[in-house]
Amino acid sequence: MRAIQMVDTKTQYLKIKDQVTEAMQAVLDSAAYIGGKAVQDFGVALNTYIGSGYTIPCANGTDALQIAMMALGLQPGDEVITPSFTYIATTEVVALLRLTPVFVEVDKDTFCISPEAIRAAITPKTKAIVPVHLYGHSAPMEEIMQIAKEHNLFVIEDNAQAIGCDYTFTDGTVKKTGSIGHIGCTSFYPSKNLGAYGDGGAIFTNDEALAEKIKMIANHGQKVRYYHEMVGCNSRLDALQAAILNIKLKKLDEYNKARQIAAAFYTKAFSGCGWITTPAVADYSMHVYHQYTILLDGLDRDELSSYLSAKGIPNMIYYPVPSHKQKMFAGFDFGDLQLPVTDWLTERVISLPIHTELDEEQLTFITSAVLNFKN
């Protein structure tokens, strides 16, 4: 059996090695190391794939979120509602821009932000909601957009973990996550579902004026070179990464399918097991399994984790500390904020290897080992 990895980017790469070499060589030969054809082509292809009005590639997913908040003109003191149960990048940029993070609860089944919790957290200072499509499952976007409309709020989707995920509205309309909110953000970090071989990110919007502003902010606040209209930053998708992503975007649906097949194998194997809750999939969302995360009931997670590691089965806790308990936010006064569902999930989640290259032998080995831990 091949060694099991949490994410096997190497085996995936070897299957497209020749194409990648050729595409990277073309960038080197063109000497267009910043911007150029590869970045432009990828922006266009990704825009078509997501079904967005405008797509602006940038340097990484964290920048995408920061630029989105800057483009919406959010000011210090404005409140931004986000889940606490997420990767730190979502909420870090809120604090970085001196906005006020308002952490709310997630749904205990989908792990995504709860619309009821959003409603309860809205104040006159609320300006934006940042739903996170955690682990590859969409947040309940239809209801979130409705709340945003009622209260005149902006919605920034953190789509870093769910690129390629379809959201189905009650009228049957299907849209890709990232194209639904006022702005969508994504990341091409190597382990993401559409991963580069370095950093990368992109910003989506259907609003032309906003797209112009996003482009400007990502480029030192300039539309015309050396005339800087506003404070921006320097956030560019690298040309070599764009060339790689152009190849991988064509395979994204196939990659997500492979993740779904591996996930289905796990879910079937664990279906009769009383101490494992397998990932829920809501009727409005596809699941693209950026992570395959189970919930444990009544057993020691650390013991299971060490037991699996000893058998050569990597496993991870995403995320051991919720955002609202991070020292980073010690300067904020959250009152006596209680997020019991978030705390409960934080203590019980464990993620198993999931990627495009898992074979049946590996999956059988992993599921047998997990089930044998406790009969």
Ligand X SMILES: *Cc1c(COP(=O)(O)O)cnc(C)c1O
- Among 142, 157, 158, 238, the residue binding ligand X under the rule CB under 6 A is 158
DSSP H or E segment with residue 308: helix 301-310
Distance, CA of 103 to CA of 92 (rounded, Å): 12
In whole angstroms, the minimum distance from the beta carbon of 129 to ligand X comes to 15
Q: Alpha-carbon dihedral of residues 61, 340, 155, 222, nearest 10 degrees?
A: -40
In whole angstroms, the minimum distance from the beta carbon of 92 to ligand X comes to 9
Nearer to ligand X, 156 or 262 (CB): 156
Q: Which of 242, 223, 189 is nearest to 64 (CA)?
A: 189
In whole angstroms, the minimum distance from the beta carbon of 64 to ligand X comes to 7
Cis (ω within 30 of 0) for the bond into 319? yes
Distance, CA of 41 to CA of 242 (rounded, Å): 8
What phi, psi does 5 have (nearest 5°)?
A: -125, 155
Amino acid at 22: E
CB atoms within 10 A of CB 369: 17
Site membership for ligand X, residue 160 (CB under 6 A):
yes
**Shortest Cβ contact with ligand X: which residue?**
61
In whole angstroms, the minimum distance from the beta carbon of 226 to ligand X comes to 29
In whole angstroms, the minimum distance from the beta carbon of 247 to ligand X comes to 19
Query: Which of these ranges, 153-161, 164-172, 261-269, 349-357, lies near ligand X under the rule CB under 6 A?
Result: 153-161
Site membership for ligand X, residue 161 (CB under 6 A):
yes
Nearer to ligand X, 60 or 362 (CB): 60
Nearer to ligand X, 39 or 269 (CB): 39
Nearer to ligand X, 86 or 367 (CB): 86
In whole angstroms, the minimum distance from the beta carbon of 176 to ligand X comes to 16
Concatenated DSSP letters of 33-98? -BSSHHHHHHHHHHHHHHT-SEEEEES-HHHHHHHHHHHTT--TT-EEEEESSS-HHHHHHHHHTT
- Please list the helix, strand and coil fractions of the chain in percent, rounded to the nearest 5, in that order: 40, 20, 40
Query: Which of these ranges, 27-35, 156-164, 230-238, 361-369, lies near ligand X under the rule CB under 6 A?
Result: 156-164
Nearer to ligand X, 127 or 290 (CB): 290
In whole angstroms, the minimum distance from the beta carbon of 290 to ligand X comes to 7
Site membership for ligand X, residue 61 (CB under 6 A):
yes
Amino acid at 305: S
Is beta strand 174-176 parallel, antiparallel or unpaired with respect to 166-168?
A: antiparallel
Distance, CA of 5 to CA of 254 (rounded, Å): 20
Query: Between residue 63 and residue 92, which ones bind ligand X under the rule CB under 6 A?
Result: 86-87, 89-90
Nearer to ligand X, 114 or 367 (CB): 114
Query: Which of these ranges, 68-76, 154-162, 165-173, 262-270, lies near ligand X under the rule CB under 6 A?
Result: 154-162
Chain residues in the site for ligand X (CB under 6 A): 60-62, 86-87, 89-90, 132, 158, 160-161, 187, 189, 199, 201
